[in-house]
Amino acid sequence: MRSLRLCAALTALALAPLALAPLAAHAGNPVINTVFAADPSARVWPGDDRLWLYTSHDQPGTNTYDTMISYHVFSTSDLVNWTDYGVVFHLKSAPWAISHMWAVDCVRRNGTYYLFYCARERGTGMFRIAVASSPRPQGPFTDLGPVAGVQGGIDPAVLVDDDNQAYLVWGGGGRCFGARLADDLRSAVPESFVDLSAQLPDFFEGPWLHKRAGKYYLSYPGLPGRKWPQHMYYAVADKPLGPYTPGGVYMREFPGRSDTNHGSIAEYKGRWYAFYHSSWLSGGKSQVRSVMADELEYDATGAIKPIVPTERGVAIAGVQPAPSRVTVLLEAEAAPAAGGALDGPTVATELPGFSAAGYVTGFGQSLNHVTVMVQSAMARQAHLKIRYAAPAGPQKLKLLVNHTSLQVPDLDPTEYEKYLSFPAAAGWAEFDCGVVSLREGDNFLKLYTGRPSADIAVDWFRLEPVR
C-alpha cells in the first residue's frame, strides 16, 4: 500500500511529467473516476453476476497517507458501469482504532461477508489486522475487532480455499507473514504461522493470494534493489502458505504511477484481470490515487505475462471499453454508518419492496431529517433521484445540498419556503431532483421535514453521472 517512511525524493519522482492521454474522453482507465480509491481487492461472489471492488479511500488534496479513515465498495456487471455504495466502514465505527485505515479485503463465509482491514490501535499506535461483518456484500459493516493472535502488520488479504479453509497473509516494511484462520475468522491458528519474506524477492507490502489451475499465486508490490517506485511481483506455490517460487515482475513502473502500487488479481466471466492503482486522475499526486484495471494473461507454463497499463481499460466480452460511469447509491437506513445521520426518523421494514436492510420513516415532527454523505474526487455535477413511498398522499419536504436549498423547476422562486412536492405513491417511486452540484471532498444531502404532517418513507438516494 505505502511505505512507512516517505521521502521528498519520492514525491518529486511521483510528480514527474505524466502522459495525459489517460484522461482523454475515450479512456477506460481509471475505472473509478469519481472518488480517489486505492488498494483494490476484487471479488466475485457465488450466485452473483457482479464483480465487486473493496477499496481504501484517499482524501482529495492530501499529501499523506495518515488521512485514510474509510472504505468504499463498488460493483459492476460489465466493468464499465459501476455502482459506488459510498462509505461502507469508517474509523468511527471501530472504537479500538485511532487512525491509518489502509488496505482492505473481503471474503464470504456461510452467507456473511467479512471485511478484513488494518488500522493503528488506540493507545499503542501499533498497526493491527481487524475484521468487520455484514449480511450484504456492500455493507455497511459492523466491527468485530482485531484478529486475535496477529500482532502488528498491515495490508491483509484472505483466500478461502476449496475445502473452505481460510488463509490470511499480511505484511509491510519488507516482511510478509501468513497463517490459517480459525473457522469464525476471528483468530489465527498459532502453529500455522509462517514467515514468507525470504521466499519473495524485493517484497515490501500488500500481498494478495489467488488460485489458478491448482497453483497458488502470491502477488505483491516490491522494491527492486530497495529503490522506489514499487513494481508488482508474484510467486507460485503448491500450498497457500508456501513454500513459494519467485515468478518475477508482472508490472513495472509506468507513466502516471504513484509512488506505491497495490492490487489484486481475479477471474470474471472467463477472463482474468489485474486491478491496481495510479495517480492518473490526480495528475501525479502520489497520495491521491485511483483504481485501474487491465486484462491479465498466463502463458502455457502458468507464468503471468507482463502488463503495461492501458488507456483503453477493460470491459466484458461484447461490451466496448469506455469511460466508466459511476453511479452513487446511498441507502437511507445506512446513513449513520456512512458519514451521515438520522435525527428523528427511524429504520423500518414493514413496507415491502425496499432495497438492502430497510428504509427510513418518521418525518412527522418538524426538522426531523436524514442526511447522507457522498464523497467526490473533484467538483462535479450529478443527477439526483430519491426512492420514496407516500401512501397517504402528496408530501412536502426540504432538501439541502451542502447547506444550499435545491432549486428545481416546479418550485415557485417567489416562495420563501422551498419545498419539494413528492407525489402520492402507494408503492415505491422515484423522485427526480434534477442536477445537483457536488464539491471536492465530502458532500451532505439533508432531506428534512418542513411541515410536521410529513408521512413519507425514504429508501435511497442515487446520484447518476452527468456527461
- From 121, 202, 205, 333, active-site residue: 205
Alpha-carbon torsion, ordered 359, 363, 364, 368, to 10 deg: 140
Angle at 168 between CA 180 and CA 213, to 5 degrees: 90
Region label for 34, one of left (φ > 0), alpha (ψ between -120 and 50) or beta (otherwise): alpha
Query: Based on the number of CB atoms within 10 Å of its own CB, is 212 exposed (0-12), middle (13-18) or buried (19 or more)?
Result: middle
Q: How far is 415 from 183, CA to CA, in rounded Å? A: 61
Q: List phi, psi (to 5°) of 197.
A: -55, -45
Q: Is 39 a catalytic residue?
A: yes
Through-space distance between the first and last CA atoms of the chain, rounded to whole angstroms:
32
Nearest to 316 by CA among 30, 84, 80: 80
Closest CA to 445 of 288, 328, 347: 328
* Residue 454 neighbours by CB under 8 Å, 6+ apart: 363, 364, 368, 395, 396, 397
88 φψ region: left (φ > 0), alpha (ψ -120 to 50), beta (else): alpha
**For residue 32, how many other CB atoms are within 10 A of its CB?**
28
Question: Exposed, middle or buried: residue 95 (CB in 10 Å: 0-12, 13-18, 19+)?
Answer: exposed
Distances (CA, A) of 143 to 95, 123, 294, 357, 439: 9, 18, 33, 17, 30
* Cα 66 from Cα 133, distance rounded (Å): 24
Active site residues: 39, 205
